[in-house]
Amino acid sequence: MRLFHHFLITAYPHLPVGADKIWITSIPGFAHNYEYLMHSILALAASHLDAVTHSGVAEQAIQHRILAVKSLNEALSVPPTTACERDARMAAALVLAFQSSHLQDGMAEFMTMVRGCNLIAGNNMMFIADSVFNAFCADSHLERMQKRIGTSRVSCFNREDLDMASLSLDLVHTLNMSDCERSYWELLVCTITHAYDRPPETYQTFVMLYNTPSKWTHDEFQAFIDPNNSVAQILLAHFIAVQAILTPILYLERVGFEGVHAPTAVLSWIEGIYWNIPCRMRHHVEWPRQVSRYPYSRFMGQKEVEYCDVNPLLI
């Protein structure tokens, strides 16, 4: 009950944008009917609570996660029979994705759960009127964010960061990439190119970095998240670093969010990648590694004063 209460008050996800109510009213109303959803909620709550209070519940977080993943995998072996069951699966996958961001070795699991969310959603078919996640509809989400970006005072990002990102991505271009890896690299380049003077397009392209791996085959995706795939690991290190330097617009996802922000392990994944890939390739991770060591104030850039307590890196 302590963990469930913590989830309702502070630890629920900030997505869909502007839809806090679904996590504190709608989803708790049917969570007790789905073992995987309840364990997912308790897993995230425990990871979040441990991050903000060091209360020693990290082991409970893993225990609940194991039970949630096992139960969710069993549920996904058959099609959902009701809209509520469909929403429960989506909620569990999204909550587990958020929890993955708190795990020191959670990058592959994070990518897998994000892919799971997209596969469960399936061409926006679930985001219809009877779904609690209808606010996740691509048009609705992007329209809301583009409005926020357009009415904010964010005009550009740190140009030095963009220049270094471009240079680093240019060097990555020389690597022997698969078709999937090449398409991902192109999205990274496009995101940085837009970031110089087109914040709305920047956000839209960045979202594609989350969605595109879900369109690959199972084998293509597994090859991409394989820790022994050094090229893909380098691309993912750049993805994390690009996400960090895009903070001036990504924090806008959290405007109005009433939960409590907690530190995550996302930036630390870059260091793990650096030491995991062969020595001869580590120079390709030098720029992401540098970004991972920036002080938080570096990321905020042209931040609006009224949002000074928001930490957009917690995604």
Which two tokens mark 256? 């109005």
**Domain co-membership, 147 together with 194:** yes
With respect to residue 243, please indicate whether it lies within any of the assigned structural domains: yes
**Domain co-membership, 117 together with 148:** no
With respect to residue 68, please indicate whether it lies within any of the assigned structural domains: yes
Integer angstrom CA distances of residue 217 from 83, 130, 162, 227, 279: 26, 29, 32, 18, 30
Label each residue of 216-273 as H, E or C. CCHHHHHHHHCCCCHHHHHHHHHHHHHHHHCHHHHHHHHCCCCCCCCCCCCCHHHHHH
Report the residue count for the chain: 315
**Domain co-membership, 77 together with 158:** no
Residue spans of alpha helices (H) in 35-178:
35-53, 58-75, 83-100, 107-121, 138-151, 159-172
With respect to residue 98, please indicate whether it lies within any of the assigned structural domains: yes
Confidence of residue 301 (pLDDT cuts 50, 70, 90): low
pLDDT (0 to 100) of residue 302:
43
**Domain co-membership, 223 together with 247:** yes
With respect to residue 74, please indicate whether it lies within any of the assigned structural domains: yes
**Domain co-membership, 103 together with 184:** no
* Segment 11-25 mean pLDDT: 91
Using the 3D structure, point to which of 135, 160, 189 is the last residue of a domain. Answer: 135
- Per-residue pLDDT tens for 151-169? 887 656 889 999 999 999 9
Q: Which residue has the tokens 């609940």?
A: 64
**Domain co-membership, 205 together with 131:** no
**Domain co-membership, 118 together with 143:** no
With respect to residue 313, please indicate whether it lies within any of the assigned structural domains: no
Domain count, the chain: 2
pLDDT (0 to 100) of residue 310:
40
Spatial distance between the Cα atoms of 22 and 132, rounded to a whole number of angstroms? 6
Using the 3D structure, point to which of 135, 150, 169 is the last residue of a domain. Answer: 135
With respect to residue 251, please indicate whether it lies within any of the assigned structural domains: yes
Look at 186 and 148; give whichever has higher pLDDT: 186
- Among 120-124, 182-186, 254-258, the range with the most confident prediction by mean pLDDT is 182-186
Quote the domain boundaries for residue 206. 138-307
**Domain co-membership, 151 together with 129:** no
pLDDT at position 100 over 80:
yes
Using the 3D structure, point to which of 113, 135, 157 is the last residue of a domain. Answer: 135
**Domain co-membership, 222 together with 204:** yes
**Domain co-membership, 152 together with 80:** no
With respect to residue 109, please indicate whether it lies within any of the assigned structural domains: yes
CA 95-101-106 angle, to 5 degrees, is 110
pLDDT at position 93 over 90:
yes
pLDDT (0 to 100) of residue 101:
97
Rg of the chain over CA atoms, in angstroms? 19
pLDDT (0 to 100) of residue 121:
84
**Domain co-membership, 123 together with 165:** no
Mean pLDDT of the chain: 90
Low-confidence winner among 8-22, 183-197, 287-301 (lowest mean pLDDT): 287-301
Confidence of residue 314 (pLDDT cuts 50, 70, 90): very low
- Per-residue pLDDT tens for 193-242? 999 999 999 999 999 999 999 999 999 999 999 999 999 999 999 999 99
**Domain co-membership, 11 together with 119:** yes
| Strand, coil or helix: 131 | coil
With respect to residue 274, please indicate whether it lies within any of the assigned structural domains: yes
